[in-house]
Structure 1
C-alpha cells in the first residue's frame, strides 16, 4: 500500500482544457522525475470546472522529499503561474492509503466513490462482497501532513474506490470521471 493524494481542483470557467494540456505536457514527467507516481487524471463529467487526479508515494517520508523537490524545482517554477491562473481552489485533497489508480488504456469512464461509513466492520463486509478486482479501494491516511504548504482535508475517515459504479448502503459522493491520462 502506498500514500495516495486524491486531488480535486475547482477551476475558472473554461480553464480545464488549458490545465490538462499543461499538466500532461509538463507536470507528469516533472513529478515523475522527483519520484512521484502520477496516477489517473480526469475530467469530472458532472462539473466542467473540475479536474481530478491522483499521485502516490511509497511512504510519508518519500512524500515530503518528493514534494519539496518538485515545488522548489525548475518545472514548477517555470509553469506555476500558468497553472495557478486556471485554479479557483486546489485545496480539496484527501490523503489516503491504497494502491493508487490509473485506468487501463482504452477505459475512458470510471467512478470515484467517496464514502464515510459509520460502521467500519459493516463497510469491510460490504467491500469484501461487492468490490472486486476492478475496484481500487483506499482508506484515509491519518498521518500528519508533513508538507503543510499543500493543505489536505483532516478530521475525516473515508473510504474511496475507483472503478465500476457500486453504490453502498451509506451516504456517498460519486464522481463520474473521464480519463485524460495519456499513455506512452
Structure 2
C-alpha cells in the first residue's frame, strides 16, 4: 500500500471550515476513484494544522486516481473553497505501509486521539519497535508521477501511529517530529 501523509498549514481559525468541507465532500468522492481516505486529524499542538492520510494500492492507481479527482467535478466545485483555507499544502511524505492502518466504521466512534512520530534522516536507518503500533510506514522512493502535488524528497522517514507516546530513542543523525492527533468525526483511523 502506498500512502501520503499530508500536513496542511491553514489560515488562522479556518481548520474547522476545511474539516467540515473535507469530511462532507472529499472522502467518498476520492474513494469512488480507487483511493482510500485513511484518516483525517486535528493536530492538538498546532491549531492551524490539518493532517490526513490517503492510501493507494500502488503507484499506478495513485497517478490515475489523482488525475481523475483533481480533474473532476468534485474538485472543480469545492477545490477553490478548500484552497482558500490553506497557506501551505506541500508538506507531504510519500510512504509505503509496513503495518497497514486498521479501519474503523466511519461516523460511529467519536473522540479519542493518537500519537504520530516521524523519524527523519538523510540516510537509511532503523529504530526500535513500537509497542502495538496502529500503523507504521517508511519512505516510498518511487518517482512522484503526479508533480502537481509535490512530495518531500531526499529524506528517509519512518512514521508510526500509536495509542501511547513513542519511547524509542532516535539514532544519531535522526530528527524526530511528534504529533498528538484528534481524529475528525469521519476519520477511519482512531486511537
- Provide the TM-score with structure 2 as the length reference: 0.86
The answer as to 2:125 corresponding to 1:120 is: yes
Per the alignment, residue 180 of structure 2 pairs with: 176
List, as ranges, runs of 4+ consecutive aligned residues in structure 1 with deviation greater than 6 Å: none
1:134-145 matches, cutoff 5 A: 134-145=133-144
Per the alignment, residue 165 of structure 2 pairs with: 165
| Segment of structure 1 superposing worse, 163-172 or 79-88 | 163-172
Q: 1:155 to 1:181 in 2, by over 3 A?
A: farther
The answer as to 2:40 corresponding to 1:41 is: yes
**Number of residues of Structure 1 aligned to a counterpart in Structure 2:** 177
The answer as to 2:89 corresponding to 1:84 is: no
Q: 1:70 to 1:100 in 2, by over 3 A?
A: farther
In the alignment, structure 1 segments of 5+ residues that lack a partner are none
Query: 1:120 aligns to what SS in structure 2?
Result: coil
State the Cα RMSD in Å. Answer: 1.9
In the alignment, structure 2 segments of 5+ residues that lack a partner are none
Per the alignment, residue 155 of structure 1 pairs with: 154
Q: 1:68 to 1:100 in 2, by over 3 A?
A: farther
Where is the helix percentage greater, Structure 1 or Structure 2? 1
1:72-111 matches, cutoff 5 A: 72-98=71-97, 99-101=99-101, 104=104, 105-106=109-110, 108-111=112-115
Given that 2:102 and 2:135 are in contact with CA atoms closer than 8 Å, whether structure 1 keeps it comes out as: no
